[in-house]
Amino acid sequence: MTDAMSMDWGQAVVVDPKRLQSLTTDNARLRRARLRLRLAVCVLLLSSAAATTTIYGQSARLAQASHELLVARKHAERSSQALAVLARSHDNILAATEQAPSVGTKSWGRRFTVTKYIPRSPAYGKFNTGITSTLIKADPEKRLVAVDPKLIPYHSWVWVEGMGWFRAEDCGAAIKGFRLDLLTASEQDALTFGKQDRFVIVVPADA
């Protein structure tokens, strides 16, 4: 029994209790340090995520502000151009009014749709003889305009914005209401001019 309970002390490891306590303390300190590092990493990740979100939000706001600035700039440019055109039109209208022959209370103005036509063309049918409705020669140098005689009496003076004065001496099947057809010398000029919106002043012959 004594032999069975005997210990082989030759394989035993003797540990100093103070050393064991020191190792235990160091182990606990390392565990606490590891926990603090984990917390620090978590905080860093959360901070990074928040910073990324903030930066993204600021970038989005900056992009929106840039877009709004661009739109505002375009609106300002269009407004400036419109004001410039309006100013020129106003000056032209004033000049035309000052030069108008016998401008009186019967004169009036508004916007018209303006086109051009030529003296003789098969497109106008067999009745196109080169003579206007008032029986004068359709000569482009005389600056004639076809009008709706129910609206603008024949022989009236008609000022067209940017083009000057014309005399109402002709009419046309398609020229009804607020439309004008200016006599021109070439079909190319008529096609190039196309259809335009212009301010017009009408001065009746008896004004």
Strand intervals (E) in 49-195: 108-117, 144-146, 157-160, 164-170, 179-183
Domain range for 135? 106-203
Highest mean pLDDT among 30-34, 88-92, 120-124: 30-34
User: Considering the chain, what is the average pLDDT of its residues?
Assistant: 79
Query: 117: domain CATH number?
Result: 2.40.40.10
Strand intervals (E) in the chain: 108-117, 144-146, 157-160, 164-170, 179-183, 196-203
- The CA dihedral of 46, 48, 52, 53, to the nearest 10 degrees, is 20
Is 8 among the domain residues?
no
Domain boundary among 99, 120, 145: 99
Domain boundary among 74, 99, 124: 99
Is 4 among the domain residues?
no
Is 1 among the domain residues?
no
Same-domain check for residues 120 and 182: yes
Same-domain check for residues 81 and 154: no
Is 89 among the domain residues?
yes
State the total domains in the chain.
2
Q: How far apart are CA 80 and CA 84, in angstroms?
A: 6
- The CA dihedral of 25, 27, 29, 35, to the nearest 10 degrees, is -150
In this prediction, residue 144 carries a pLDDT of 95
What are the tens digits of pLDDT across the range 153-205? 999 999 999 999 999 999 988 899 999 999 999 989 999 999 999 999 999 98
Domain boundary among 99, 114, 138: 99
pTM: 0.54
Same-domain check for residues 93 and 110: no
Using a pLDDT cut of 90, give the percent of the chain over it: 31
Is 3 among the domain residues?
no
Same-domain check for residues 112 and 89: no
